Amino acid sequence: MWTTVALVVTVLVILFVRANIRPAGFPPGPFCLPFFGNALHIILLSPKVAFEKYVNDYGGILSYRVFNTWGLLVSDPALMKAGMADPALSGRIDLILFDHRDSIIRRNKSAPLGIISTSGDVWKNQRRFTLRTLRDLGFGRSTLEPIMQEELEELLKLFREREGEKVEVGLLFNRSIVNVIWAITIGKRYSYDDKKLEKLVEKVSKMVQTFNPFHPALRFRWVKKLFPNLTVIHNTHHYMAELLAFIESEIEVYKQQKGDQEDTSCYIGAYLHELEQLKPDEEDDTSLSMDHLKANILELFLGGSETTSSTLWWAVYWLASNQNAQRAMQEEMDRVVGRCNTPTISHMDRLPYTMATIYEVQRMGDLVPFAIPHMATEATSLGGYRISEGTQMMFNLSHGLLNSRYWKDHDKFRPEHFLTEDGKVFKPDHFMPFGFGKRVCLGESLARLEVFVFLASLMHRFSWRITEDPVVWETSTVISRPPKFSVYIVSRDQDMD
C-alpha cells in the first residue's frame, strides 16, 4: 500500500514540476496545474480579475499557461507600446471564431481571410488596401461630417420624441453608427424604421457579444471537437452565417445596380475596381479576392460599430451620473459654439474639456480590456526576456487605464485627468484604450470623429439624469458595455429642476 502511495505522490510531484517548467528566458508567473495550467483560474475568476491578480503578484510582464499553450501577459504601458510596435510580435494567434467565418465564405478549410485574423503578406496586403481606401473616403477627416450629420439629425429626432421619458438609450446609438459604416462601405443608408437595419444592428451586436477569445471552445480545436454542441459554438456559427448571408446579398445587389459602371466612392466599389485590375498571375491567397472582401466588410462592422456605440453608451452613463461634469461640458460648448449653433468637427480643438471628457469616458469605460491576442512570428525579446517564435502575447490595456499607479483618483470619473493646469487637453503615454501599433483598430480615426460629433451635439441639446442605480452589468472580454440603466432625457430649453 505504501509503495502505491509513494508512487502516486512521485507521479504527482513530477507532473506538478513539469507543469511549471517555463521555456528558457521566460519571465516568472503564477503556479500552473498539470494539464490545465492556469485555465481554470482564468475561466472561474474571469480573465480580467485573474490577470490583474497575476500583475499584482508578478509585475508588468509575466508568463502563464492555458492547457498546453504558454503565453506572456504584458501590462506595463511602456512594454505594451514596445511590444505592439514590434513587427516580430504582430502575428495573430489561431482564432477558431474566424474559422467559422472563413469556412462559411469558402465552404471549405482554407487559409485565413481578412485583416484581424491574418498575418504576414495576407495581413499586409488587405490592411494596406483597406487603409488607403478608407483614407481616400475621408476616414479621420471632416469630409465624412455630412454623413455623420445626416445620422445625427435622425438620432436627435429620436431623442426629442422621448423627452421627459425614462429611456434606455444604449441601443439607440447602434442604428446611427451602423448606418455611417454602411454608407462608407456600400454608399447607402437605411431609414430607421427599415427592418433590414434593425436586423443588421441586432446581428452585429449579438456577434460581438459571442466573440470571446478566452473561451476554450473558441481557442482550442480539441475542445471544439470534444464538445461540438456547446452553445457558444452554435451561437457563433449562427450569427456569423447570418451576417455573411446579409453581406453577400448586399454585394450582389450592389453589383447588379452598378453593372459595368465604375464606382470608387465606397469601399465595395473601390475593392471591386481593384479586383478588375488584377492580372491572373497576381492572384493568390495573399491578394485581393471576393472572399477577402466579404471578410473585410464583416470586420469593419464588428470593429467599427460596437466600440463607437458602446463609447456613446458609456458617455451617457458617466455624464448622467456626474452632473458637474455634464454641466461643465455644456457650459464650454455654450461659450465656444453658442446655444444657437451646432458643434462641428471644426470646434474640436477649441473644446478641451469636451475632448477630455471623451477620453475619460474611454478610460473609465475600459472598452477593450485586452487587445486581440498577438503571436510572435519570429524570436525576439521584450523587457529583457526572450520570446520564442509562436509565443502568444496578451496585452492588458485595462491595467494602464484603471490602475492607481497611473491615475490620481483612478476609480473616479474626472475629465481633469486629461487636462493640464492651464486647461489644455493631453493624453498620457499610458492611455491606450484601443491598443497601439499597426494592429490598432482601423476604425479608430472614424470612431474619434463620430463620438465627438454625436456626443457634443446631444449634450448641446439635452441633459440626462440617471433614474436609478444600475444593477446588472454587461460583461465581455472583447467589448465592455455599461450596466443596464435608464435616464430621463430633458431638453436644455427646460428648467433642469
Q: Give the per-residue pLDDT at 259.
A: 78
What are 323-339's pLDDT values in tens digits?
999 999 999 999 999 98
Grid cell for residue 287:
491578394
The confidence score (pLDDT) of residue 496 equals 41
The pLDDT of 94-102, averaged and rounded, is 71
pLDDT of the residue at 110 = 63
Q: Are strands 91-92 and 385-387 parallel, antiparallel or unpaired?
A: unpaired
Global pTM reads 0.92
Specify the pLDDT at position 497.
44
What's the whole-number mean pLDDT along residues 113-119?
87
Q: What is the dihedral of CA 159, 165, 168, 172, to 10 degrees?
A: -20
**Residue pair 64/41 in contact by the 8 Å Cβ criterion:** no
- β 61-66/385-387 pair status: unpaired
Q: What span, in angstroms and rounded, lies between the C-alpha atoms of 113 and 290?
A: 10
CA quadruple 10, 12, 13, 18: dihedral positive or negative?
positive
List, in order, residues 6 or more apart from 108 with CB less than 8 Å away: none
What local confidence, expressed as pLDDT, does residue 296 receive?
Answer: 92
C-alpha span between 117 and 262 (Å, rounded): 30
| pLDDT for position 495 | 45
Whole-number pLDDT of residue 476: 54
Banded model confidence at residue 283, pLDDT cuts 50, 70, 90: low
pLDDT digits (tens, 9 = 90+) for 420-443: 999 999 999 999 998 898 888 877
454-476 per-position pLDDT tens digit: 999 999 999 999 887 665 555 55
No. of helices (H) and no. of strands (E), the chain: 17, 10
DSSP string for residues in 285-312: TTS--HHHHHHHHHHHHHHHHHHHHHHH
- List pLDDT tens digits, range 218-231: 777 777 778 777 77
User: Which pLDDT score is estimated for 463?
Assistant: 94
Torsion, Cα 172 178 184 190, to 10 degrees, reads -80
CA 338/CA 334 separation, integer angstroms: 4
The 3 state secondary structure assigned to 226-288 is: HCCCCHHHHHHHHHHHHHHHHHHHHHHHHHHHHCCCCCCCCHHHHHHHHHHHCCHHHCCCCCC
Domain 68-491: which CATH number of 1.10.3720.10, 3.40.50.300, 3.40.190.10, 1.10.630.10: 1.10.630.10
How far is residue 19's CA from residue 21's CA, in Å, rounded to a whole number?
A: 6
The torsion region of residue 120 among left (phi > 0), alpha (psi -120 to 50) and beta comes to left
For residues 116-124, average pLDDT: 87
Q: How large is the angle between the packed helices 231-258 and 195-210, nearest 10 degrees?
A: 140
Q: Is there a contact between 415 and 352 (Cβ–Cβ < 8 Å)?
A: no
pLDDT of residue 311: 93
CB-based contacts of 215, cutoff 8 Å, min separation 6:
232
Q: What are φ and ψ of residue 168, in 5° steps?
A: -90, 105
d(CA 325, CA 357): 8
Q: What per-residue confidence (pLDDT) applies to 206?
A: 78
pLDDT digits (tens, 9 = 90+) for 152-163: 999 999 899 988
Q: Which residues contact 153 (CB under 8 A, 6 or more apart)?
A: none
> What pLDDT is stored for residue 234 in this prediction?
79
- Contact yes or no for 61/73 (Cβ under 8 A): yes
Confidence label for 214 from pLDDT (cuts 50, 70 and 90): confident
Highest mean pLDDT among 201-205, 232-236, 265-269, 283-287: 265-269
44 conformational bin, left if phi > 0, alpha if psi -120 to 50, beta if neither: alpha
pLDDT tops 70 at residue 293 = yes
**Cβ neighbours of residue 33 closer than 8 Å, sequence gap 6 or more:** 16, 19, 40
pLDDT surpassing 90 at residue 166: no
Query: What are the beta bridge partners of residue 65?
Result: 70
Cα–Cα distance between 218 and 220 in angstroms, integer? 6
Q: Which three-class secondary structure state does DSSP give residue 432?
A: coil
pLDDT for 138 beyond 50: yes
Sign of dihedral through CA atoms 218, 221, 227, 228? positive
Look at strands 69-74 and 392-395 and give their pairing.
parallel
Alpha-carbon radius of gyration of the chain: 24
More confident residue, 258 or 266: 266
Q: Please state, for a pLDDT cut of 70, what percent of the chain lies above it.
A: 94
Query: Whole-number mean pLDDT of the chain?
Result: 87
Block residue for cell numbers 476609480: 411
Stated length of the chain:
497
Looking at residue 370, the DSSP 8-state letter turns out to be B
Q: What single string gives the DSSP state of each residue in 405-429?
A: TT-TTTTS--GGGGB-TTS-B---T
Looking at residue 263, its pLDDT comes to: 84
441 is in an annotated binding site: yes
**Whole-angstrom Cα distance, residue 397 to residue 343?**
31
Task: Note the pLDDT tens digit of each residue in 60-90.
Answer: 999 999 998 999 999 999 999 999 999 999 9
pLDDT, position 215: 74
Dihedral angle over CA of 72, 75, 78, 80, nearest 10: 50
Top mean pLDDT of 5-14, 216-225, 244-253, 356-365 is at 356-365
Q: Determine the average pLDDT of the residues in 25-36.
A: 95
Which of the pair, 35 or 470, is modelled with greater confidence? 35
Cα distance between residue 78 and residue 399, in whole Å: 12
